[in-house]
Structure 1
């Protein structure tokens, strides 16, 4: 049974007290610690009724500054992920200094609200501090990778459900071996860096599911078809080599400038599932650049697009969860990205809550998609990637 989050200020400890009091226990106790705080009518409640989960990325700045942000995450989510605080440039900014405060606070928040926790990201071509980038070379690269994964995955051993072990490695247009994206890790170690990363996580935290997280696979275009082909071929090779990959992450950044081909997406997910992998939707949002300025019209189009996408995704039994990349429109990364900004300068309406933490038409579309989804609980018995 879940508990509600509608108690008055005097009935709950402050957010600061929860974080401070729970941190020590968070780092030495199993996860999660207590019954979930999500509301009975929340996105996660609708998802969990079908054996799924709903979650959100957590931006540490509003979590620290705005209690309403934390209450919204607690009300709607059964799963959270630190948006940035577990990436290398945040957690290991200097060779002799680690900075785990933000990750620890995210963990404490999750434990206080009975939420599961994902981790992002271990190996990526971005979010590298300058000192580390200089050491990703043939002589030092492998030792640095193992040291980094040992530090971050070791600190949160037993508390992370799944780690994005490698992130955004697909790049057929770069002309590299196997269609891999240009990366300092590829330059230093060759394609074997993928295997090393997954094997390192297994050594450090064998209970955490290792996941390849990838973007630009959801919609319709010739260049996206080439990316899907690369993903399927690379996954097949990894499984044949015995790489300990258990899940595949479809980021789910869908954008109004491209069409959705439901049949192609359905087939792609089915092929991944046939390899025995579970699937997570890891960074879901809707880029509304091509939609009119009128809020009512735009919200309706965003909701419709999201519903069509989620109906396909949630039909696949291998899908475990849907995580949005933050939960409230003002925090979407789309407004800060030059390529994603609307030409009219209006903020994007990409996420399930608005600036006042009210539920949007997108929230309602997501809730209905979860409610109408087939029951995924029986599939859990057959999946090795859970």
Structure 2
């Protein structure tokens, strides 16, 4: 399936290349596992959204048109989530496929679903190089930005369900050779351009939270450095930038350890700059060598959920969104996006809190326990 078609049908997720990026530091010592006692605790009576609310936090999921038509899944979202993000409904190629021709139906449907279920909604995303009409250059000229932002942001200016906009998504290059200049943004994109589109957004609707969203910044390295420099530049320029979205499509392995200390330092730096980090697209895969059984895999996934979320809450994160609730609808199970290294082990792609039959897994327990314990980090 063509990637653009995949996005247009609002089934897809963030960025396929995130599958090959190691969010882990192989030079670190493998940290000890979280307490299995916590992970094995089962509390079906306490919803994830209630556990989050108890410590003044939000939990939610990505939603799309096709999954909310599954009544059992929709009910699960309603029970577990206080916040949601659309997979495709607000992306340029969907909402304005040709200049001045807007298709608000998918976005309106998402807002209606969220309003009916008392769920806050993030508007994702106004600008993304992977989700634009073929006729539109990247970065889009500011005249096109003005028209697009006026049309989309203007329509939802008074809406109380939609509370946040991802102004731009994945603007930092993955590596130096892909960058426009020493500042590390994608080819054609200058820092001043990013500043300008935030200023355009502010002129249309400053009542919403404004975010910049990216992947691959969770681990210490070149991309994280360039991402931090961009955030510092934008804040120093005086633009309205409230939150930083960390996608968090994560890989963990027995063979190399996650650099937890580096991640906590990163969150501390964001806080010192004056922006709030949130987790926007979390899912967890286990890298080779795979465990022998699904039960072992589920325990590894759960353990890493808890370690990651515990670190997030220590670092001031107050919003967690997984990229789906159930493995049934995970983008990582779609034939076009199954990681090559897991093609022979598709049953081991279990990255979300519920299994394909909408039954809770240990990952849900881990998320719940992280919220329950998060009060010590407030």
Q: If the length of structure 1 is used for normalisation, what is the TM-score?
A: 0.79
Cα deviation, 1:217-273, whole Å, max 9, x if unaligned, reads 224xxxx41112112222111111112111111111111256311111111100100
In the alignment, the residues of structure 1 paired with residue 118 and residue 232 of structure 2 have an alpha-carbon distance, to the nearest angstrom, of 36
Aligned to 2:226: 230
| Residues 105-129 of structure 1, C-alpha deviations (whole Å, 9 max, x = no match) | 1100110011111110111111011
| Matching of residues 115-130 of structure 1 within 5 Å | 115-130=119-134
Q: Given the superposition, is the C-alpha separation of residues 364 and 230 from structure 1 closer, same or farther in structure 2, using an over 3 Å criterion? A: same
Matched, 1:296 2:295: yes
**Alignment partners' CA distance in 1, 2:281 and 2:169:** 12
Q: Distance in 2 between matches of 1:58 and 1:125?
A: 21
Match of 2:358 in 1: 357
Q: CA deviation at 1:341?
A: 6.2
Q: Which of 240, 248, 260 is the matching residue for 2:244?
A: 248
Contact 1:218 1:254 in 2 (8 A): no
Which whole-Å CA distance do the structure 1 matches of 2:97 and 2:283 have between them?
A: 29
- Cα gap change, 1:183 to 1:164, in 2 (>3 Å): farther
Structure 1 equivalent of residue 265 of structure 2? 267
Equivalent position to 1:282, from 280, 283, 294: 280
Note the alpha carbon deviations across 1:121-167, whole angstroms, 9 max, x for none. Answer: 1111110111223xx57xx7110011111111122224321111111
Please name the residue that 1:12 is paired with. Answer: none
The match for 2:62 is 57
Find 1:114's aligned residue among 105, 113, 118.
118
More displaced, 245-254 or 71-80?
A: 245-254
CA distance 1:57–1:153, change in 2 (3 Å) = same
Q: Go from structure 1 to structure 2 and tell me whether the alpha carbon gap of 1:50 and 1:340 turns closer, same or farther (over 3 Å shift).
A: farther
Structure 1, residues 169-196: CA drift from partner, whole Å, max 9, x if none?
A: 1224224224333256x2xxx3322112
3-state SS of 1:95 partner: coil
Q: Distance in 2 between matches of 1:270 and 1:302?
A: 25
The yes-or-no answer on 1:210 pairing with 2:210 is yes
What do residues 43-80 of structure 1 show as CA deviations (whole Å, max 9, x unaligned)?
A: 1111111111001010211212x111110110100001
Q: Which contiguous aligned blocks of 4+ residues in structure 1 show a shift greater than 4 angstroms?
A: none
What is the CA–CA distance in structure 1 between the aligned matches of 2:235 and 2:201, rounded to whole Å? 16
Secondary structure (helix, strand or coil) at the match of 2:200 reads: helix
**Contact 2:286-2:297 within 8 A present in 1 as well:** yes
Q: 1:96 to 1:322 in 2, by over 3 A?
A: same
**How far 1:280 sits from its partner (Å)?**
0.9
CA root-mean-square deviation: 2.0
CA distance in 2, matches of 1:169, 1:120: 14
Deviates more, 1:337-346 or 1:197-206: 337-346
Identify the match of residue 49 of structure 2 among 34, 39, 44: 44
Higher RCO (CA-CA < 8 Å; seq separation 6+) = 2
Whether the 8 Å CA contact 1:50–1:375 is kept in 2: the answer is no
CA contact (8 A) 2:91 2:131 kept: yes
Query: In the alignment, what sits opposite 1:154?
Result: 154
CA distance in 2, matches of 1:56, 1:263: 27
Q: Distance in 1 between matches of 2:203 and 2:53?
A: 31
Change (3 A) 1:368 1:234: same
Check the 8 A contact 1:63/1:70 in 2, yes or no: yes
- Aligned with residue 103 of structure 1, among 104, 107, 112: 107
Question: Which SS does the other structure have where 1:236 is aligned?
Answer: helix
Deviation of the 1:293 alpha carbon:
5.6
Q: Residue 343 of structure 2 aligns to a residue in which SS?
A: coil
Distance 2:207 2:242 in 1: 11
Quick one: which of 63, 78, 82 aligns to 1:78? Answer: 82
Name 1:314's counterpart in structure 2.
313
The alignment of Structure 1 onto Structure 2 pairs a total of residues equal to 325
- Is the Cα–Cα contact under 8 Å of residues 52 and 371 in structure 2 kept in the other structure? yes
Q: TM-score, normalised by structure 2?
A: 0.81
Q: Which runs of 5+ in 1 are unaligned?
A: 1-38, 378-386
Give distance in 1, aligned partners of 2:264 and 2:78: 32
